[in-house]
Amino acid sequence: MISSSILGSYFLVRGFSLLVGGYPSEMEVLDQVKHGIYIEIVWQFYLYLLCMILLSILGVSYQIKRFKRKREEKKKNKKKGKRKLKVKKKGQQISTDEHDESDLEGRTKVPQIE
């Protein structure tokens, strides 16, 4: 969860920086460090770094809220005795609605694998 937010923010900001400029090339920085050359970092890099941190925080908070909501829905449905089923009538598309067992008379039940 955290790694996807960090990687996603890096790739988003890095892609944007390729269009706008101001982000130092990782290979050039690595080469300069190997040879002991002083690295001068421009102010735009710090702005990109700030954007990466903010996007990572937003991504993590969104994922935490989303997973919490899903977990609560599963608990709620478990208490009610509802299961998520794929329901199909003859000649119809499969839907993934939540149904009570009593609602499924005359229909083909196919349990959904999650």
Question: Are residues 74 and 85 located together in one domain of the fold?
Answer: no
Question: Are residues 72 and 109 located together in one domain of the fold?
Answer: no
Q: Does residue 94 contact residue 87 with C-beta atoms inside 8 Å?
A: yes
Question: Are residues 41 and 74 located together in one domain of the fold?
Answer: yes
pLDDT score at 42: 86
* SS3 call for 110: strand
Question: Are residues 46 and 68 located together in one domain of the fold?
Answer: yes
Parallel/antiparallel/unpaired status of strands 108-111 and 98-99:
unpaired
Question: Are residues 45 and 13 located together in one domain of the fold?
Answer: yes
CA distances (Å), 55 to each of 25, 64, 82, 90, in order? 21, 14, 37, 47
CA distances (Å), 110 to each of 58, 75, 106, in order? 37, 21, 13
Question: Are residues 74 and 108 located together in one domain of the fold?
Answer: no
pLDDT score at 22: 87
Q: What is the pTM of this model?
A: 0.59
Q: Which residues of the chain fall short of a pLDDT of 70?
A: 81-114
Question: Are residues 42 and 61 located together in one domain of the fold?
Answer: yes
pLDDT score at 70: 85
Return d(Cα 110, Cα 10) in angstroms, integer.
41
Question: Are residues 63 and 74 located together in one domain of the fold?
Answer: yes
Question: Are residues 64 and 114 located together in one domain of the fold?
Answer: no
Q: Does residue 5 contact residue 59 with C-beta atoms inside 8 Å?
A: yes
Return d(Cα 44, Cα 13) in angstroms, integer.
12
Number of domains in the chain: 2
Question: Are residues 89 and 75 located together in one domain of the fold?
Answer: no
Question: Are residues 9 and 26 located together in one domain of the fold?
Answer: yes
Token look-up 């196919």 returns 110
- Residues spanned by the domain of 87: 81-114
